Structure 1
Amino acid sequence: MAAKPSIPKGTRDFSPVEMAKRNYIFNTIRDVYHLYGFQQIETPSMEMLSTLMGKYGDEGDKLLFKIQNSGDYFSGITDEELLSRNAAKLASKFCEKGLRYDLTVPFARYVVMHRDEITFPFKRYQIQPVWRADRPQKGRYREFYQCDADVVGSDSLLNEVELMQIVDTVFSRFNIRVCIKINNRKILSGIAEIIGESDKIVDITVAIDKLDKIGLDNVNAELKEKGISDEAIAKLQPIILLSGTNAEKLAILKNVLSASEVGLKGVEESEFILNTLETMGLKNEIELDLTLARGLNYYTGAIFEVKALDVQIGSITGGGRYDNLTGVFGMAGVSGVGISFGADRIFDVLNQLELYPKEAVNGTELLFINFGEKEAAYSMGILAKVRAANIRAEIFPDAAKMKKQMSYANAKNIPFVAIVGENEMNEGKVMLKNMETGEQNLVSADELIAIVKK
């Protein structure tokens, strides 16, 4: 017997019901993006490795899926290089392209390539899959969708405010209770400066970003491993574990960072964003969280992360300000800020909390039973009217046994079945059965449409 086929770990198939749920997620996010004036673009699944490498830090670079060159990829490689078994070096010779790791770096590349066609500030959104050669686990996949919105070409903090409003609106529409966490890379740089470890800012942020996952002791151990002094680690503790209201945290930070110009700038930016949002009447909690570091190297200002309150799962949305990302592609001075909704994790949260509206997952609303050629021909005329009324309807393609056709309706959770026999055709009507109540009524095409729509 042939071996049963399988799919790569960290990837998934989606059934029709699951796709209906996913489209509900994508459509909800898309509708909110449109409300705020964002326009959609798409970029290729693969990018040149030169575009991707070095943009996500050492850890991110290791997670890039590389695509082997076609043709004779051994040409130009010496026997000595092959025998060295240096995977990273060989990959750089074998592979010129890679699957995109996120949508932000390809977007920066897009902006630079199309700068003459773009009106700035440019507000774009993108809903596409990304790939990471990560270890699969609950809520973490190797292939997953991101739903990004970015604004480039504007330094205004009103962009950050609006992105937080978008986050609040989207999760309110999903009925998911969340905590929106906010921090600022300038605050983190200021902290590194006052503890005397400015050159270790990347190591510090990568370590404290893991606080939720590995705990304080392990974070401290990682900091020590990176060569950060015991004295600096000790100074870091009360800052990492700062508590109180947002206003109280900001007041303490102003004092703690008084000797750091960059740190105070981060406090000022955070204060503007939080104070402005306070007047906007957000439905969800927003919290200044100094342990939020977002490990990616390209963030330079405000950073955001969203946690679901009623489900144990990683962050379901993230983002931040990146002042110099397009600079690596030869276009300096273009500031950007963006967010990314993790559609796959949102899918899992909505499933666990059973929050999908019934209409979002219903497929066919009406099935016509097929008793033969004459009956099918009669049904097709009514079917055209029904579909013109925007009712999702189908006819069973074969004149099979009634039991089989009714089982099909039950399996697909079709709420109404139309039965057409000789008597119905003679009267110019249809027998309509409500599959939930079992009630049957002889109705005209117009009456049928009215009942199903109701």
Structure 2
Amino acid sequence: MAQKPSIPKGTRDFSPTEMARRNYIFDTVKAVFQTYGFQPIETPAMENLSTLMGKYGEEGDKLLFKILNSGDFISKVDEGELQKRNSISLTNKISEKGLRYDLTVPFARFVVQHRNDISFPFKRYQIQPVWRADRPQKGRYREFYQCDVDIIGSDSLLNELELVQIISDVFDILNINTTVKINNRKILAGIAETIGELDRIVDITVAIDKLDKIGLEKVNQELLDKGISEEAVSKLQPILKLSGDNSEKLDQIEKVISESEIGIKGIEEVRKLFAYLDGFELNIIVELDLTLARGLNYYTGAIFEVKANDVQIGSICGGGRYDDLTGIFGMPDVSGVGISFGADRIYDVLTQLELFPDEAITSTKVLFVNFGEKEEAFCLPILSKLRQAGVNAEIYPENAKMKKQMTWADRKQVAYVAMVGEQEMEQGKVNLKEMKSGNQELVTPEELIKILSV
């Protein structure tokens, strides 16, 4: 019995229509990136585990896909080690590589490895898939694309401004109403210092980053479970419940963490960023969210998260400032900042809101119906000229029944069908039919090219 074909959970096949829509997203994002002077790079799908491990926190390490060493990898493991059945220890001995978890850590590795070949500040973009061993659910996949844009080698807040402008431009073109939530990890460090738990900043940020997902009560319980004192959790409550506009929130938190030097530094950075933003008309809502933490450990300054206003889904873009990510690869004190657009979630938003334009779906603009060898000989030179003019055009490969050819064109969502029979050949013209309206007109090959080149 033949095996039923399947793919791993959390992965997907994409049809031609879906790929056309995905490419619409990629092309939009890429065009905006290039407008701001960013250059493309690519990195391998797999990295050494030594590059990936320990960069995403304990939870992130658990979600890394490890790749078994080639050959007889078990033969190199001591029999006693096998009998211990310790999966973590065993994995370290039989796996040296893993699929990349994000694009930022491989980018940091790239920067260090190619430091003599690039100019700083270095502005790069990268559009590639990443993999996470997460539990698949709506809007969360095990294989998905990220569209990253980063500036490394500069600590200027003009870079953060530029990233917010990019967010605004991308979602304006895609016609998605969004809110950009902004915070600063220095403010979070100031909060942790104020409540007497500075050494537990990672535990605190990981917990409060889940506030929108699990609610205040469960966040408080997670903090207590991680050993944060009841007194510290109690001091944290007014901060988690802050209200008002951006300026009012900053004024309130400044009073609370006024004794924390790092916290005040974070407030100064946020005020300066908002001052920059006030000088521009952005097509997004910009909101200070002091509960935003971003779970990744390498963030040190401004952090961003973008939500779609009209769809219930997780963040569709996010990122932040990392001051020393290259330091773990032997190149310290190189600050960077970047954001990542989640192409798969953006796709889901555009689909749910029916925002994909028709041109994002159509791949072939005109199909020549095949009536036979004589008609083929007449149509092929015209077909060639259309392609030279940049028009996506094709001819049905065989003289099939008219109904079959028209059905094929309809399923492929071809915009126009060109028909040439004996009468059209005698006149040296083409009968052009618009599929959506059904309108037909007799045109010369030159008129045909002009109409379809629009």
TM bucket (normalised to shorter chain) is over 0.9
Q: Within 1, Cα distance between the matches of 2:210 and 2:258?
A: 27
Other-structure match for 1:263: 263
In the alignment, does 2:163 pair up with 1:198?
Answer: no
In the alignment, does 2:1 pair up with 1:18?
Answer: no
1:440 CA drift (Å): 2.5
Q: Within 2, Cα distance between the matches of 1:421 and 1:291?
A: 69
In the alignment, does 2:343 pair up with 1:378?
Answer: no
1:452 CA drift (Å): 2.9
- Report the 3-state secondary structure (helix = DSSP H, G, I; strand = E; otherwise coil) of the residue aligned with 1:247: helix
Contact 2:370 2:397 (C-alpha < 8 Å) held by counterparts: yes
Q: Within 2, Cα distance between the matches of 1:413 and 1:96?
A: 47
- Report the 3-state secondary structure (helix = DSSP H, G, I; strand = E; otherwise coil) of the residue aligned with 1:74: helix
Contact 2:362 2:415 (C-alpha < 8 Å) held by counterparts: no
C-alpha RMSD of the superposition = 1.0
Q: Within 2, Cα distance between the matches of 1:434 and 1:358?
A: 14
1:293 CA drift (Å): 0.3
Other-structure match for 1:243: 243
**TM-score scaled to structure 2, two decimals?**
0.99
Q: How does 1:226-237 map to 2 (within 5 A)?
A: 226-237=226-237
Out of 228-237 and 380-389, give the one that drifted further: 380-389
Other-structure match for 1:315: 315
Other-structure match for 2:147: 147
Out of 69-78 and 434-443, give the one that drifted further: 434-443
Aligned AA (2:91): A
Aligned AA (1:277): L
Q: Within 1, Cα distance between the matches of 2:411 and 2:383?
A: 21
In the alignment, does 2:46 pair up with 1:9?
Answer: no
Q: How does 1:282-361 map to 2 (within 5 A)?
A: 282-361=282-361
Q: Within 1, Cα distance between the matches of 2:161 and 2:434?
A: 49
In the alignment, does 2:28 pair up with 1:28?
Answer: yes
- Report the 3-state secondary structure (helix = DSSP H, G, I; strand = E; otherwise coil) of the residue aligned with 2:145: strand
- Report the 3-state secondary structure (helix = DSSP H, G, I; strand = E; otherwise coil) of the residue aligned with 2:6: coil
Offset from partner CA, 1:361-412 (integer Å, 9 cap, x none): 2111111011111211211011011112221111000111111001111111
Q: Within 2, Cα distance between the matches of 1:222 and 1:412?
A: 52
1:280 CA drift (Å): 1.1
In the alignment, does 2:189 pair up with 1:189?
Answer: yes
Other-structure match for 2:396: 396
Q: Within 2, Cα distance between the matches of 1:229 and 1:438?
A: 72
Q: Within 2, Cα distance between the matches of 1:305 and 1:436?
A: 40
**TM-score scaled to structure 1, two decimals?**
0.99
Out of 46-55 and 436-445, give the one that drifted further: 436-445
1:437 CA drift (Å): 2.7
Q: How does 1:126-145 map to 2 (within 5 A)?
A: 126-145=126-145
Runs of 4+ more than 4 Å apart: none
Contact 2:240 2:290 (C-alpha < 8 Å) held by counterparts: yes
Other-structure match for 2:109: 109
1:165 CA drift (Å): 0.7
Aligned AA (1:289): D
1:307 CA drift (Å): 0.5
Aligned AA (1:308): A
Q: Within 2, Cα distance between the matches of 1:99 and 1:21?
A: 26
Out of 199-208 and 369-378, give the one that drifted further: 369-378
Aligned AA (1:401): K
1:186 CA drift (Å): 0.5
Offset from partner CA, 1:181-236 (integer Å, 9 cap, x none): 00000000000001011111000000000001111000000000011111110100
1:75 CA drift (Å): 3.1
1:174 CA drift (Å): 0.7
* Number of residue-to-residue matches in the alignment: 454
Aligned AA (1:28): T
Fraction of identical pairs, as percent: 68
Q: How does 1:402-417 map to 2 (within 5 A)?
A: 402-417=402-417
1:3 CA drift (Å): 2.9
Structure 1: stretches of 5+ with no match in the other structure: none
- Report the 3-state secondary structure (helix = DSSP H, G, I; strand = E; otherwise coil) of the residue aligned with 1:299: coil
Other-structure match for 1:49: 49
Structure 2: stretches of 5+ with no match in the other structure: none
